[in-house]
Amino acid sequence: MFENILIYFVVIPLVMLGLLALCRDIKQIRAVAVVGSLGLIALSVYLLVDYLGLRAAGNEAPMLYTGSWVWFEPLNIHLAVGVDGISIAMLLLSSIIVFAGSFASWEIKQPKEFFLWLILLSTGVFGFFISIDMFTMFMFYEVALIPMYLLIGVWGSGRKNYSAMKLTLMLMGGSAFLMLGLIGIYYHSAPEGGQLTWNLLEIVDNASIPHGWQSFLFPMTFVGFGVLGAMFPFHTWSPDGHASAPTAVSMLHAGVLMKLGGYGCFRVAIYTMPQAAHELSWIFLILTGISVVYGAFCACVKTDLKYINAYSSVSHCGLVLFAILMLNETAMTGAIMQMLSHGLMTALFFALIGMIYGRTHTREITEMGGMMQIMPYLSVCYVIAGMASLGLPGLSGFVAEMTIFVGSFKAGMADYLAGAGSLRLVFTLIACCSIVITAVYILRVVGKLLFGPVHDDHHRQLTDASWWERLSTVTLIVCVAGIGCFPNFFNTLINFTFKPAIFSVLGMN
Amino acid sequence: MSITIPILILAIPLFMFIFLGLCGKKMSHLLAGTLGTLGMGTVLVLAYSTAFNYFFSGDPLFINEAGERLQYIVFNQTWLQFTENLTISLGFFLDPISAMMLVVITTISFMVHLYSLGYMRDHHGVFEKGFQRFYAFLSLFSFSMLGLVVATNIFQMYIFWELVGASSYLLIGFYYTKPSAVSASKKAFIVTRFADLGFLIGILVLSYYTGTFNFTDLTSAPVAGLENVYQVSLSTPESVLSIFQGSAAPMFMGASVLTWALVLIFMGGMGKSAMMPLHIWLPDAMEGPTPVSALIHAATMVVAGVYLVARLFPLYLMENSALVIITVVGALTAFYAAMVACAQIDIKRVLAFSTISQIAFMMVSLGVARPEYHEGLGYMASMFHLFTHAMFKALLFLGAGALIHAIGSNDYTAMHGLRKYMPITHWTFLIGCLAIAGIIPFSGFFSKDEILSACGNYSTLVYIWMSLVAFLTAFYMFRLYYLIFWWKEHKVHEGHHAPHDQPWTMSLPLIILAAVSVVAGFIPFGKLVSWNGEPYDFMAHFDWGVASISLILAVVAIALATVMYRKENPLPDKMQAALPALWKWCHHRFYWDELYMFITHKIIFNCICRPLAWFDRHIIDGTMDSFAILTNKASEAIRPLQSGQVQMYVWIYAIGAILLGGITILCLI
Amino acid sequence: MESVGSFILYVIVSLAIIVFSVMAVTSRKILRAATYLLFTLFAAAVVYFMLDYQFLGAVQIAVYAGGILVLFVFAILLTSHPGNNSAVLGSKRRILGLIASLAMLFVSAAALLARASLFAAKPQMEEVNMQKIGEAMMGTGANQYLLPFEAVSILLLACIIGGIVVARKR
Amino acid sequence: MEISAIYFLVPSLIMFCCGLYGFITRRNMIAMLISLELMLNSVDMNFVIFNRFLFPGQMEGMMFTLFAIAIAAAETALAIAIIINVFRSVNHVDVRELNEMKF
């Protein structure tokens, strides 16, 4: 079992948990967190390189590094792991954000407990991305959700109890749907008389879910994951939750956890039930299309920085699900890139907001102004994050959005010309409009918060970023710019891997 | 041709941006400025050598035996691969117009770099705060603009198009503590962004049908035997033609898809080139430092729209209706901007509207270019005007900058009679005015005259309309000139220095640009740039009738301005009183800004955003909360059963037992 | 056929049980209630005697009437303030109690009366003397009760300790 | 006049019902305990009665009662200890006020 490299994505956090429990003072805690997350980054980079090497050597299997160990025999539950390019991209993203998050919570109160929960959460995240067994996947999913309640409830700010409760309950509600869906898939995972399985690869190979069941199970799983992906109208946990969460938790949650939703929608809902995905995608297309513009419009009038960013996340994550539903290779590539891009960018945003909030003790943009004069470093980072968010070329947002638009426009036109309705086309155009609205709310915030005269003279004494804050932001900015400048690397990484899946989906066209 | 020089042309500004952006704070102001200027100077030399090489070396890659200029892709690197054949590449495209643009951009940019060394400091020679940042942004802008013009494909153009917009945003908002500058930069970005939405959709439509982003695939034919070399052709390649022409041409809502795509792409051009109704950002953009206005909002970025249409011109030729739309939009904008320019007080605003009007000239010129009229005179004229306009408008802006620097105000009412104090500025400004008014032998005369004759070939109505605009142009420019330099004696306030000419760093660019403005008209432009690569001898087609009429109009306009504004007199006030409504509307720019404010703030903000946010908080979130409340209520309802009263428990237990027992017993009996 | 004397005794005893138990649960003075309980317990002891279980009757009197009731009296004196009557019962609660107890009464009475024919007259029985009880209690064979006896003794021990622990002043 | 088992069972039943009534209605914990004793006693009586009338040769009912009395003693002692303890901490023994541990 331990000869499989993927296991270490769970082992390292678990070891970190153990070490954290032994830590005596904050220095040791920081050391454990930093060394551990560096280890995770190293591991994921090694995995990336090794993976590319294997692919270059002509390994065409849909998942590499697969391994499977029986866990509960009667229900055929395994601890099954395996990765493709998408999972690797997500693992890389998660490890980077955990790293940046550790630095962003450098001076948190009650650090030991905080980091224990945070690392437990990331255990869940890593476990989720390496699993290919639906049951273990679900288990890790829950492991990632529960610590959120405590992290927000204890270390949060504002209406933290309400927000923590709301977030947890809504996500749990989503998991309820999800569980129904997963169990349904399990009971149809093999042809009559065959051995039932939770393993995604086997389920896809068997392709034995009856059509009628698909149209019931697809919405279940899609909504289940979609709640975490902040799909309209199940997004309201996101503004409140993010507004109350401490910095690192916001980062991790918006940066990685919301991606669990998109990843799950793709990997479970669409991967296993392509027919239903094809037939029912229109419902979710409408919902996600609405999310895209709706989140952006809502962000235009909010005055709380975290609310603005949370609504912006609704908009961007809506774009992820939207692109996935286009069932088009380019759009799906774009969706994965948007996940990466949004993860990094929004983590950067939340880190910066947390740092600004930590100094000014307010998040109302009406109570701040002229931050550029007071904390130039943070302000410049904020402008960069904003530019990434509104899709400036050279930063990650642009490539992701353009890939999505090109792909979904293609899907939309193909539908339209084939006489299959203009829904996709219309919603593609509507989603395109979001680039303008995004510009409006980003520039509104930048203008009010960073530029202009200093609003409050008390703010003049505030200091600029400390070294750990700089490290945290620089890490994220470098990644954002890296994706933005060299998109083709990620494009091929993602694109090469999910072709078989895509073809099985497109085969339905 | 080696690819080192082209790469350096792009890499040096980019490096300068990163270097000055990261390390600028650590170095002295002067060092940063000098480094930036030197960098730009190097780029200038490289770009000149590239352009010279392209135009005059006679290399078979650039010109064929028939003397036709060719298009050459110096390098093309895949940047992002969407599908097997749909790819965004970053490359370097050399053809007549891109070579010409390289010259224009590097010249103006270098002038502005040099000029800013003097401009961006106060009278005591203290550099402004953020001086290094200013040079970093200038470098970023130069990089983006150069990348835009050498784009090998439409998506590369879009990428740099966006970067140009962002650097323009940063530069307009350079004085970020000034709320008006912040809102102007925001406005500029959002308006152009809106236009870019059209551009993007246009690109998507075009690429969906043609399956390519490459300009060469869309507009030109490859030359046999030479790699990366293409014929500049009038008709688009067969592959593209076959998609869009014939009875099977795809239609959408009554118009052909190509028309839609081209009009949408033109919409992007309208945004960047400030065509009505997307022009509102440009006057406000004057909040930026004046050198920025000269670089971005007069000479380079604003002509990107013209360049875009010129780049895709073979496609536009396929769709007459798209060209008609361009002509109409251009003509209306030209007239509107000229009218408004007559009634502005802020000298930079006058110049801004003059810019809008002149760019509209170029657009009209492209719109009226047809193969049947003098081999597409309009295209060549448009490019020529782009070139000359860049020079003299930059000159005018830099001159205005010198005035503002000396006076400390944008308002001509604070100036008046400055000719004695600032002779260099005065003479160079006069040359600029003469050039834009179209007086022989200044450069504007030649280019404008060709535009007018192209219009005359196309339609008399357009010709008369544009001549009227030319007349207004001469009038408002000289109104401005007289109001700044004549009108009445300058009053030097006590305790202030008398205004004086500027340091050499500022004067030198003025003099160079003035010299260029004088002689640029004699450049055999048609030999270098034409729409199909064949040299075009415009002296052979020179229409003396049109030339003399336009010259007469310009002289009459100048005379009128002289009468009205040379000496202080009540005539202007009388005019104003005679046509109060017209003056008011012109002065308020026909209330476009107010209309936009109404739409964005009153309608979109108050009628869409706020209700949506309310809906989200109260309806959607309310529904979610009401689930929670419902659950709570239900639990409250059944909670009293667990009262903690042991007697109640016993009672319930007893009753239950009795019932069960009773039923059993009744059954047994 | 019973003698008239024993029948009269029966009537007195059963009346005593009924009356005193009713009074024990309705009296508003708690000490009186305890006293009525005592009478009820005595009456029960008499019933045991009538049924020829003399030892049981003796234990009833000794443990119940003698031991437990003393505990009650102590507890009452410790916890109630003298002269305090318990509050008049709310009618709602009384009705609830009446419903439950009357329902119980009717159901059980119906069952009893339906099966009344099963019960014949009191059969003859050998006297249950102390020796038999002792043997039953101390033996381990069939129908012998050493294990429960020991269990009860442990229980009582635990109870003593528990009582001390719980009631001890901290 | 035959005194059959039913003659003894009816008073016992009434005693039980009284106990039930008292347990539900009384507020004083000691009074409740008294009611409980009534019920317990009624059950003891039933054991004995059934033993005597139906299985006269055996001793199960009697022994059961014997043990029940012992257990009742233990139970009462413990209950009273608790009651006194409660009284010490809240100064009353009203069962309806003792609901802090509900929910």
pLDDT digits (tens, 9 = 90+) for B69-108: 888 888 888 888 887 778 888 888 888 888 889 999 999 9
pLDDT tens string B530-571 = 777 777 776 666 777 888 888 888 888 888 888 888 777 777
Q: Between the ranges A310-314, B20-24, B222-226, D91-95, where is the mean pLDDT highest? A: A310-314
With respect to residue D13, please indicate whether it lies within any of the assigned structural domains: yes
Q: Does D28 touch chain B (CB under 8 A)?
A: no
Q: Does C129 touch chain D (CB under 8 A)?
A: no
Greater pLDDT, A206 or B622? B622
| Domain residue limits, chain C | 1-83, 126-170
DSSP 3-state helix, strand, coil percentages of chain C (rounded to 5)? 75, 0, 25
What does the pLDDT read at residue B199?
A: 92
Contact C56 D66 (CB under 8 A): yes
The answer on pLDDT for C20 being more than 90 is yes
D25 CB neighbours in chain B (<8 A) are: 647
- Separation CA A31–CA A495 (nearest Å): 37
- Separation CA A12–CA D94 (nearest Å): 59
Residue C101 to chain B, least CA–CA distance (Å): 9
Contact B651 C100 (CB under 8 A): yes
In CATH, what class is C1-83? mainly alpha
What does the pLDDT read at residue D1?
A: 59
pLDDT tens string B201-252 = 999 888 888 888 888 888 877 877 777 888 777 666 777 777 777 666 677 7
3-state secondary structure of B280: coil
The answer on pLDDT for A508 being more than 50 is no
Contact A440 B621 (CB under 8 A): no
D56 CB neighbours in chain C (<8 A) are: 123-126
What's the whole-number average pLDDT of chain D? 86
**For every residue of B531-588, which 3-state class applies, written as one string?**
CCCCCCCHHHHCCHHHHHHHHHHHHHHHHHHHHHHCECCCHHHHHHHHCHHHHHHHHC
Q: Are B62 and B95 in contact (CB under 8 A)?
A: no
Contact D81 C14 (CB under 8 A): no
Retrieve residue B516's tokens. Answer: 């260029």
- Separation CA A213–CA A148 (nearest Å): 33
Element (H, E) at B70: strand B70-81
Q: Are A333 and A408 in contact (CB under 8 A)?
A: no
Query: What's the CATH code of the domain at D82?
Result: 1.10.287.3510
Q: Are B589 and A205 in contact (CB under 8 A)?
A: no
Do B and D touch, 3+ Cβ pairs within 8 Å? The answer is yes
Retrieve residue B317's tokens. Answer: 């030729």
Residue A197 is part of which domain span? 5-506
The answer on pLDDT for C17 being more than 90 is yes
With respect to residue D102, please indicate whether it lies within any of the assigned structural domains: no
What does the pLDDT read at residue A503?
A: 56
What does the pLDDT read at residue B313?
A: 87
Do B and A touch, 3+ Cβ pairs within 8 Å? The answer is yes
pLDDT tens string B480-500 = 888 888 777 766 665 566 677
pLDDT tens string A310-358 = 999 999 999 999 998 888 888 888 899 999 999 999 999 999 998 888 8
CA atoms within 13 A on the CB side of C127: 6
Residue B353 to chain A, least CA–CA distance (Å): 25
What's the whole-number average pLDDT of chain B? 84
- Separation CA B605–CA B599 (nearest Å): 8
With respect to residue D1, please indicate whether it lies within any of the assigned structural domains: no
**Which one of B632, B647, B655 makes the best mutation probe of the D interface by having the most chain D beta carbons within 10 Å?**
B647
Residue A330 to chain B, least CA–CA distance (Å): 6
User: B164: pLDDT confidence band, cut at 50, 70 and 90?
Assistant: very high
Domain count, chain D: 1
What does the pLDDT read at residue C46?
A: 92
Q: Does C44 touch chain D (CB under 8 A)?
A: yes
Residue C21 to chain B, least CA–CA distance (Å): 19
Q: Does D5 touch chain C (CB under 8 A)?
A: yes
In percent, the amount of chain A with pLDDT more than 70 equals 97
Greater pLDDT, B329 or B666? B329
D103 CB neighbours in chain B (<8 A) are: 639, 642, 644
Domain count, chain A: 1
Mean pLDDT for A496-508 is: 57
What does the pLDDT read at residue B1?
A: 62
Tell me what ipTM this predicted complex has.
Answer: 0.77
The answer on pLDDT for C71 being more than 90 is no
The answer on pLDDT for D15 being more than 90 is yes
What does the pLDDT read at residue A509?
A: 40
Nearest to B147 by CA among A394, A67, A239, A34: A394
Q: Does D102 touch chain B (CB under 8 A)?
A: yes
D102 CB neighbours in chain B (<8 A) are: 642-644
In percent, the amount of chain B with pLDDT more than 70 equals 96
3-state secondary structure of A85: helix
Retrieve residue C147's tokens. Answer: 């294990």
Query: Which chains does C contact via 3+ CB–CB distances below 8 A?
Result: B, D
With respect to residue D72, please indicate whether it lies within any of the assigned structural domains: yes
Q: Which of A286-290, B85-89, B410-414, B430-434 has the lowest mean pLDDT?
A: B410-414
Residue D73 is part of which domain span? 6-96
The answer on pLDDT for B26 being more than 80 is yes
Q: Judging by DSSP bridges, how do beta strands A77-83 and A64-72 pair with one another?
A: antiparallel
Greater pLDDT, B120 or C41? C41
Q: Does C95 touch chain D (CB under 8 A)?
A: no
Identify the closest residue of chain C to D52 by CA–CA distance: C51
Q: Does C98 touch chain B (CB under 8 A)?
A: no
Instruction: Find residue B569's DSSP bridge partners.
Output: none
The answer on pLDDT for D7 being more than 50 is yes
User: B30: pLDDT confidence band, cut at 50, 70 and 90?
Assistant: confident
**Pairs across B and D, CB distance < 8 A:** 26
User: C86: pLDDT confidence band, cut at 50, 70 and 90?
Assistant: low
What does the pLDDT read at residue A41?
A: 92
With respect to residue D103, please indicate whether it lies within any of the assigned structural domains: no
- Separation CA C81–CA B503 (nearest Å): 107
Q: Does B173 touch chain A (CB under 8 A)?
A: yes
pLDDT tens string A378-415 = 899 999 999 999 888 889 889 999 999 998 998 888 88
The DSSP letter of residue A466 is: -
Q: Are B378 and B451 in contact (CB under 8 A)?
A: yes
As a whole number of angstroms, the longest Cα–Cα distance in chain C is 62
- Considering the entire predicted model, what is its pTM? 0.83
Query: Which chains does B contact via 3+ CB–CB distances below 8 A?
Result: A, C, D
What does the pLDDT read at residue A507?
A: 54
Residue B271 to chain A, least CA–CA distance (Å): 13
pLDDT tens string A5-14 = 888 899 999 9
Nearest to B562 by CA among B445, B474, B490: B474
Identify the closest residue of chain C to B668 by CA–CA distance: C111
Q: Does D45 touch chain C (CB under 8 A)?
A: yes
Residue C97 to chain B, least CA–CA distance (Å): 7
pLDDT tens string A246-264 = 888 888 888 888 888 889 8
Identify the closest residue of chain D to B638 by CA–CA distance: D103
In percent, the amount of chain B with pLDDT more than 90 equals 13
The DSSP letter of residue C120 is: -
The answer on pLDDT for B451 being more than 70 is yes
Contact B654 D25 (CB under 8 A): no
Identify the closest residue of chain A to B203 by CA–CA distance: A406
